Each structure stands twice: as structure tokens, then as C-alpha cells.
């Protein structure tokens, strides 16, 4: 699975970083960075929580066929 970000929706409030710090990082300029491209299975629950927690609905998970 891959993480997709709707950058127009993201307001850098870091909810995803709190849910899955292994996958998301905010830099000093409040820009969001993805730390993983393919989400490893062990990280998937945290990333799914980040998708749910994003108050802007900016995150989604894509299966390989949706790339
Ligand atoms: S939780 Fe959503 S709005 Fe907040 S930084 Fe992450 S992707 Fe952006």
C-alpha cells in the first residue's frame, strides 16, 4: 500500500505525525513529508489510524493497482 496525500487539503496540523511518526514528518517550515513510500505491513495499523485521524481528509491508502 502507498500513502496518497491531497496536498491542497493538508494544513500541517500534525495529527498524522502523532498517529504514525514512522511514516510522517513535519519539517521546520510546517511542510509534511512522507517517510515511507510502500507501507510495510507492521506499520499499516498506525498509517490507517493516521488516515482516520486526519481532520482534513487529506490522506488515503492506495493499493498497488491504483498507483
Ligand atoms: S493530519 Fe492531515 S492535515 Fe494534518 S498534517 Fe497530516 S495530512 Fe496534513
Q: Which domains are present in the chain?
A: 2-66 (3.30.70.20)
pLDDT tier at 67, thresholds 50, 70, 90: low
- 25-37 pLDDT, tens per residue? 999 999 999 999 8
Whether the Cβ atoms of residue 51 and residue 5 lie closer than 8 Å to each other: no
3-state secondary structure the chain: CEEEECCCCCCCCCHHHHHCCCCEEECCCCCEEECCCECCHHHHHHHHHHHHHCCCCCEEEECHHHC
pTM of the model: 0.92
Q: Report the nearest atom of ligand 1 relative to the CA of 32.
A: 5
Which residue's CA is the nearest one to ligand 1's atom 4? 13
Binding site membership of 20 for ligand 1 (Cβ less than 6 Å): no
Q: Which residue reads 500541517 in cell numbers?
A: 12
What pLDDT does 55 receive? 98
Amino acid at each position: 500500500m502507498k500513502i496518497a496525500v491531497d496536498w491542497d487539503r493538508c494544513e500541517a496540523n500534525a495529527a498524522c505525525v502523532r498517529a504514525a511518526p514512522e511514516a510522517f514528518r513535519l519539517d521546520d517550515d510546517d511542510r509534511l513529508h512522507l517517510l515511507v513510500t510502500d507501507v510495510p505491513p507492521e506499520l499499516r495499523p498506525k498509517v490507517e489510524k493516521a488516515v482516520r485521524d486526519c481532520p482534513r481528509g487529506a490522506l488515503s491508502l492506495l493499493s498497488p493497482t491504483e498507483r
